[in-house]
Amino acid sequence: MGRLFVITLEGNSYKCKHCQTHLALADHIISKSFHCSHGKAYLFDNVVNVTVGEKEERLMMTGMHTVVDIFCVGCGSIVGWKYEAAHDKTQKYKEGKFILERFKVAGPDGSLYTVSHNAQLGSDVDEP
């Protein structure tokens, strides 16, 4: 394995809650109206310092999607997923975009999101 180079973001950024590696700028949020099994999730146009897992088909509330899980390069924690393909034409805007699960990242102000009792349990879901 080679040397690890981590990108440091300038400005308000979301970071891995475990190791504080920068993941995305707050300015790159497309939507805060997504949900996952742990509660809130945010759709981002661009995310850095992540590696991707294997492609898989995942059935979500808005239909079938081809996704890859994304992992923090600093500590290896799963922090969300990337949409590779959407099977429904109305969901094509998600392709190439990233979801960061709010429960798995620290906010720009250092805040941590805790799972509410109302968080949906089960498979990940998305809602634009």
Taking the domains of the chain in order of start, what are their residue ranges?
13-106
Question: Which is the CATH superfamily of the domain at 13-106?
Answer: Peptide methionine sulfoxide reductase. (2.170.150.20)
Contact (CB, 8 A) for 108 and 13: yes
| Residues whose CB falls within 8 Å of the CB of residue 48, separated by 6 or more in sequence, listed in order | 7, 9, 22, 23, 24
Sheet harboring 78-86: ordered strands across?
29-36, 39-44, 98-101, 78-86, 63-72, 50-60
Contact (CB, 8 A) for 32 and 41: no
Global confidence as pTM: 0.84
Per-residue pLDDT tens digits for 1-13: 566 789 999 999 9
Element of type H or E holding 60: strand 50-60
115: pLDDT confidence band, cut at 50, 70 and 90?
A: low
Please state, for a pLDDT cut of 70, what percent of the chain lies above it: 86
